[in-house]
Structure 1
Amino acid sequence: MQDNVRAITPVSISGLAPGVPPTGTPIFEFIKPTDLFVDPAYQRSIGERGLSQIRRMIEEFDWAKFKPPICAYAEHEGATVLKVLDGQHTAIAAASNPNIPEIPVMIVEAEDTAAQAKAFIGQNTQSLRVTNLQLHQAAIAAADEDALTLELTCTASNVKLLKNPNSYTGDGSRQTIAVKQIEALIARRGRIVARQVLETIANAERGPITASQIKAAEMLLTDNEYAEHITADDLTSAIIDLLYTAEEEAKLFGATHKVPLWRALAIIWYRKCKKRRGALRAA
């Protein structure tokens, strides 16, 4: 019995303004995978999880499952090379398989690192394989204003935004991967308040700065119900005094009272803070 098939038909574009491609039509070429390059400005290095994926691709290589890498011409040490904008795992798997001398690649126009980084973001914004940290690094390479503002805010707070989720050093003090929470904090409160929030947590020198901690500190330092009674220094002292018990108490409090972890953590911290009159104005 023949399967039913459906023709591709256009949807209504009423009310839309169809975009005109800003670059030329892509071309396809067969390329030796070992002739391709990656740019660390916006491409992550391959970790153990990535290596596992590549090994599976090598063992199960199938043209029916193959997705051509997207590349762009670039200058490197006086020579013209092809940089992989998306698909480096595929390219590495092909390069490692002696049965695959060449692969088809799609070549698009992206003349410099900033344009290539923007293309990488466009290719991977909806991809679950690419982390927020990677997209942020790509946005920096693309000179995105919001990404640069976020990076400057972290630097001013003496907080290091890591490039990879598992790259903490020591106990993780003054280090974070909470890029989306910091981005949202800056959008809500601006750079000055965001810096104060990050500094308040970082000055406790007590481990990685988490999204829950950022949101909890933001509430305590900006909500008049709390900020009128404590200073940033009071909050830092409370975090130091509680050490790592605060998170455990917050989990229990949150489960008992059915409140989010960040709000429960804020309540636990606030209970420990020294209370002052007019602290908001004094700060």
Structure 2
Amino acid sequence: VTKTVEYAYDDYATALIAKELGDQENHNLLMRHSGNYKNLFDPSTGFWRGKIEDGTWIADFDPYYPYFAYMYREANAWNSLFFAPHDPEGMIALYPDHKAVEQKLDSLFTEPWRGYEAHNMTGFIGNYCHGNQPSHSIPYTYYFIGKQEKAQCVLDSIMDRFYDMGEEKLAYAGMDDAGEMSAWYVFNAIGLYTYSPADPEYIVSVPLFDKVTFTLGDNTTFTILKEGNGKKIRQIRYDGDVINGWFVTHDQLKKGRKLVITTAE
């Protein structure tokens, strides 16, 4: 399962390169492949499951069990949910309605971890495991069903609980593979996140700070301002203009203007 969903995203990323090169044939082929994640969705359980060669589901299925390298890699079925950052609308459409997606997400963050001991699986909120990276984009799924404030509750809990652990308050919930754990925190602390890293855009969240200023490589300064102390984003403005949706593009960031995130209680 984890290979299929990750390769689907890899094919999407490569399709973008093919498009830039004017290779329409391979672009079309790779875009078709990018939908392969849908082949493993089991509507009877609401999970992505493994299949055998004849197309039937693998019978030995327990969504709580960390198979590690059988169907899933360093994960269980809960932590392998909702990974299609290139196609969130298509992913959500696999479920009957938005309420079904919300219930699945709520269950992920509340169903207790069953106590299985598995390498790299530490730092739990329900069955969500922040100590291993495959599930790090899952909280943002709430955005696409009109429940952004629920995503922010999870993001705030993760930043509060899993980055100042241990005796010296410096330990993380898991391995900092290639700096990913650190980068996740930095992005969310300033109110931006690379939800789909192959696309030059950032999903906007509520920053920890009232004001963030950073300098880009060409010495352009970009500023993020937070208005209010709530978890629900009421409005996002870029250079005075209201943004329709949840994303700011990298081209906008490079211009060095102001991003204002207004929240409501």
TM-score, normalised with respect to structure 1: 0.29
Task: Report which of the two has the higher share of strand.
Answer: 2
More helix by share: 1
TM norm structure 2: 0.30
Higher relative contact order, structure no. (Cα contacts within 8 Å, ≥ 6 residues apart): 1
